Amino acid sequence: MIARVEPLTRTRAVRGPFDYRLAPGQDVEVGSLLRVPFGARSSLGVVVELAERSELDPDRLVEPEAVLGAGVGADLVALAGWMAREYCSTPSRSLQLMLAPGASVGTGARLALVAELTAAGRTALADPGARLNDRQRGLLDALGRRGATAAAELDTPGLRRLESRGLVAIDRRARPRRPVRHEVGSASVTAPPLTQEQSAALERLITALSARPAGHPGFLLQGVTGSGKTEVYLGAVEAALSAGRTAIVLVPEIALTPQVLWRFQARFGDVVAVQHSALSVGERHDEWMRLRSGEARVCVGPRSAVFAPLDDIGLIVVDEEHESSYKHEGDPRYDARTVARERAERHGAVLVFGSATPRPESVLAMERLRLTHRVDRRPMPAVEVLDMRDRHQPLHPETRMALADLRRAGGKAILLLNRRGWSNFLSCRACGRVWLCPNCDVALVLHRHGHFIACHHCGHRERTPDRCGACGSVSVARHGAGTERIADELREALGEERFPIFRLDADSSSLPERARTLQAFQAAPAGVLVGTQMVAKGHDFPDVSGAAVLDADQTLRFPDFRAEERTFALITQLAGRTGRGALASRVLVQTLAPDARPISFATRHDSDGFIVDELERRRALSYPPYASLIRIVCSAPDEALARETAAAIHVELAGIDATVLGPAPLFRLRGRARSQLVIKAQARQSAIDTVGRAVDRVAPGAARRGAAVSVDVDPQ
Ligand code: ADP
Ligand code: ZN
Ligand code: ZN
């Protein structure tokens, strides 16, 4: 027998599969993970096909060195092939996303070197003056975020050096680990009696589950916030399980919304396995194995859970389908929603997307199920627009007053500002110099409490300057406000023991710490939660009665066709966090663009109106869903090479049945100049194929000169 093997490499130039001869008794299937001789080295590889004979000279074929556990099923091998084509990537890169966590770096159930921060490591990480180079700080930061991590996933020699300084502890571990359960909020073992709308939606899903309708576009469960969508998912999962099938539930961010996971665990117990980034590799590996062996039959997790190794999938749910975190940023730049649709089709599974603010493309394509009322029948909160033109303070007087009222009444509020740090940028009052990132064309943001200024794109940090490096002046101006400054100002104006101010953003360090902040806010009888967009995500606080968005049109200033959709979703989702408590609720929207379309639709809670209007606009401008976008970004050490590479691809695209825009320069990022092409196509598949071929012709030559090409199909 011959095994056709795709070697697991990151290089685009190496394209398998390659033939290997199997020894008698070597038990190999499509999807098996092998160690094979590859050139002068050995490599991991996945069997993509079995054959009776090879086209090659049988004497020149070699045998695999070993068959490893933790391979995938044949369905995932086929899905990887589809993904490689759909996202102009390679089967190898696609397969690497699907293997058992840790498998591709040779960790897994066997003993692995696991690294963790020590107390000294934590202290060094918090101290911007610590003697660390960028690489070392990066390693400590990764450990701080992820907790115990397999050393091989990061950089074993680098970690060993930090170990010798006492900043990191490394040891060899192999016990099977089960993730800790976070029992948050009330979750019932049995379903409550469903509302009429919930029952109708669930009935429709159960009918579809038994009919296995091929080619059905899937269901969109559009329900206002608090309308009980999760209860419908739970019912559908139960139906899939009792039909002997399995289910996948995708959620945006488990660490921040542990109550969703807990509701599934409370209802279904150990058949639920979980995958998420805050787990250690060992935990993720062992949970993956429980799915692969059939012990667990429901996988709840973020976008990568769409690859859960389950057979006979009956249901795939994508909760909060409007969230941009479903798009993967590495190669292949897959969209978990598109992959979910493809995988559901291949398994004859029912596909359900859910949201209070669905994307216009989902509304257009899918069968809609509606939940129009909140479960408790409470009205939606009143949304008021506050005009910020000609105002120089970050908080409108009305917002200040509302917060002071809330403090008096003893209530809770959420304040959203999509910008972290203390102020946006620093400039010298004498010579006008602005502090910029040395690697990127952006300003450095002040983090006053950390005593540093930082680039939010590459992570570069410097100590907060006390004088201008150009002219020596000590007069440094701070411009704009971020979450850190707002939290400071509120603490000064309102803060006290009875009315604490909490802050939640990517600066409030690790995921577990953020989860603790949320729990503290939840437990407090009164107070304010200030943060970036993560405060608007699916949390279910029972007693929040006030909310404010500062600079609501900030998202509108991005040159992006989704800007309007994002702005509408942000305000609506934030409004949805309120009004579940005893006090009458108010939502204040501070903006420089009080008449902007998405803002006025959001103040009227008019999702349908917004979507109709937005689809009309998209049609007129030929944006998705009326056309597909493909973005090609070429990066290089210098501007000329980046532009030349983009231009060379443009030439190769001659004859494409699509509009090609560019090359257009992008701002420099991580020390690399960038140039971009955007393709707007009606004929999606043929455009993807043409782009794939053009990039394959140009990229290898460009790579030898130091340029890199990345392709993003359906960019966000
Ligand atoms: P959504 O996901 O639509 O925002 P949830 O599913 O989180 O809404 O439901 C909001 C709250 O209502 C939750 O606390 C949930 O337990 C509760 N709930 C949902 N359905 C019912 C029902 N039929 N009867 C009583 N309470 C319900
Ligand atoms: Zn100066
Ligand atoms: Zn930078």
Separation of alpha carbons 469 and 452, rounded Å: 16
Separation of alpha carbons 355 and 368, rounded Å: 11
For 128, other C-beta atoms within 10 Å of its C-beta total 17
pLDDT of residue 105: 57
Separation of alpha carbons 41 and 9, rounded Å: 12
Model confidence band, residue 108 (pLDDT cutoffs 50, 70, 90): very low
Residue 14's contacts (CB-CB under 8 Å, 6 or more residues apart) are 7, 92
Average pLDDT over residues 291-298: 94
Q: Which of 178-192, 233-247, 582-596 has the highest mean pLDDT?
A: 233-247
Average pLDDT over residues 11-37: 87
DSSP structure string for 652-704: HTTT-SEEEEEEEEEEEETTEEEEEEEEEESSHHHHHHHHHHHHHHHHHHHHH
152-169: per-residue pLDDT in tens?
Answer: 778 888 999 999 999 998
CA distances from 499 to 399, 530, 636 (A): 16, 13, 51
CB distance 319 to ligand 1 below 6 Å: no
More confident residue, 461 or 39: 461
Separation of alpha carbons 682 and 147, rounded Å: 46
Average pLDDT over residues 505-522: 80
Token readout for 574 is 């934030």
pLDDT of residue 539: 67
pLDDT of residue 201: 98
Ligand 1 atom 5 nearest Cα: 228
Average pLDDT over residues 657-662: 94
Model confidence band, residue 25 (pLDDT cutoffs 50, 70, 90): confident
pLDDT of residue 376: 80
Model confidence band, residue 580 (pLDDT cutoffs 50, 70, 90): low
CB distance 194 to ligand 1 below 6 Å: yes
CB distance 89 to ligand 1 below 6 Å: no
**Average confidence score pLDDT of the chain:** 90
Longest alpha-carbon distance in the chain: 86
Q: Cα of 455 to ligand 2 centre, how many Å?
A: 20
Give yes or no for residue 322 having a pLDDT over 90. yes
CA-CA-CA-CA torsion sign (115, 116, 121, 127): positive
Beta-ladder partners of 301: 250
pLDDT of residue 107: 47
More confident residue, 195 or 554: 195
CA distances from 287 to 121, 427, 629 (A): 29, 50, 36
Token readout for 541 is 């606080």
- Ligand 1 atom at shortest distance from the alpha carbon of 260: 7
- Ligand 1 atom at shortest distance from the alpha carbon of 263: 16
63-91: per-residue pLDDT in tens?
Answer: 999 888 768 999 999 999 999 999 999 99
Separation of alpha carbons 714 and 716, rounded Å: 7
CB distance 579 to ligand 1 below 6 Å: no
User: Ligand 1 pocket: which of 224, 230, 260, 572 to mutate (most atoms <8 Å of CB)?
Assistant: 230
CA distances from 602 to 298, 383, 571 (A): 35, 8, 6
Q: Cα of 391 to ligand 1 centre, how many Å?
A: 40
Give yes or no for residue 6 having a pLDDT over 70. yes
Give yes or no for residue 584 having a pLDDT over 80. no
For the chain, percent of residues with pLDDT exceeding 90: 67
Q: Which of these ranges, 70-74, 106-110, 249-253, 405-409, has the smallest mean pLDDT?
A: 106-110
Residue 623's contacts (CB-CB under 8 Å, 6 or more residues apart) are 561, 617, 629, 680
More confident residue, 147 or 113: 113
Separation of alpha carbons 712 and 716, rounded Å: 9
Rounded to 5 degrees, what are φ and ψ at 304?
-70, -15
- Cα-Cα-Cα-Cα torsion 537, 533, 308, 188, nearest 10 degrees, comes to -20
Q: Which of these ranges, 185-199, 623-637, 682-696, has the smallest mean pLDDT?
A: 185-199
Beta-ladder partners of 336: none
Q: Which of these ranges, 141-150, 342-351, 388-397, 522-531, has the smallest mean pLDDT?
A: 141-150
Cα separation of the two ends of the chain: 45
Rounded to 5 degrees, what are φ and ψ at 219?
-110, 145
Residue 513's contacts (CB-CB under 8 Å, 6 or more residues apart) are none
Q: Cα of 225 to ligand 1 centre, how many Å?
A: 9
Separation of alpha carbons 604 and 614, rounded Å: 16
- Ligand 1 atom at shortest distance from the alpha carbon of 198: 23
CB 534, CB 505: distance < 8 Å: yes
CB 163, CB 171: distance < 8 Å: no
User: Ligand 1 pocket: which of 232, 522, 540, 544 to mutate (most atoms <8 Å of CB)?
Assistant: 540
CB 113, CB 151: distance < 8 Å: yes
Average pLDDT over residues 574-603: 86
295-315: per-residue pLDDT in tens?
Answer: 999 999 999 999 999 999 999
DSSP code at position 578: S
Token readout for 61 is 């074929």
Q: Which of these ranges, 214-228, 497-511, 593-607, has the smallest mean pLDDT?
A: 497-511
pLDDT of residue 583: 66
Query: H-type helices in 212-359, by residue range?
Result: 229-242, 258-268, 281-292, 336-347
For 214, other C-beta atoms within 10 Å of its C-beta total 7
What size, in residues, is the chain?
A: 716
Average pLDDT over residues 642-662: 95
pLDDT of residue 175: 42
For the chain, percent of residues with pLDDT exceeding 70: 95
Residue 87's contacts (CB-CB under 8 Å, 6 or more residues apart) are 94, 331, 332, 333, 334, 711, 713
Beta-ladder partners of 313: 246
Burial of 63 per CB tally in 10 Å (0-12, 13-18, 19+): middle
Within 13 Å of residue 127, how many CA atoms lie on the same side as its CB? 11
Token readout for 39 is 């050139």
Give yes or no for residue 318 having a pLDDT over 90. yes
Separation of alpha carbons 444 and 446, rounded Å: 7
Q: Cα of 447 to ligand 2 centre, how many Å?
A: 20
Of 510, 389, 465, the C-alpha closest to 145 is: 510
Query: H-type helices in 217-257, by residue range?
Result: 229-242
pLDDT of residue 177: 58
Average pLDDT over residues 489-516: 84
CB distance 450 to ligand 1 below 6 Å: no
More confident residue, 497 or 86: 86
CB 230, CB 249: distance < 8 Å: no
Of 245, 232, 242, the C-alpha closest to 299 is: 245
pLDDT of residue 579: 72
Separation of alpha carbons 19 and 2, rounded Å: 6
pLDDT of residue 513: 80
CB 537, CB 253: distance < 8 Å: yes
Give yes or no for residue 196 having a pLDDT over 50. yes
CB distance 301 to ligand 1 below 6 Å: no
Residue-wise burial string across 560-599, b where 16 or more C-beta atoms lie within 10 A, e elsewhere: ebbbbbbbbbbbbbbbbbbbbbebebbbbbbbbbbebbbb
CB distance 195 to ligand 1 below 6 Å: yes
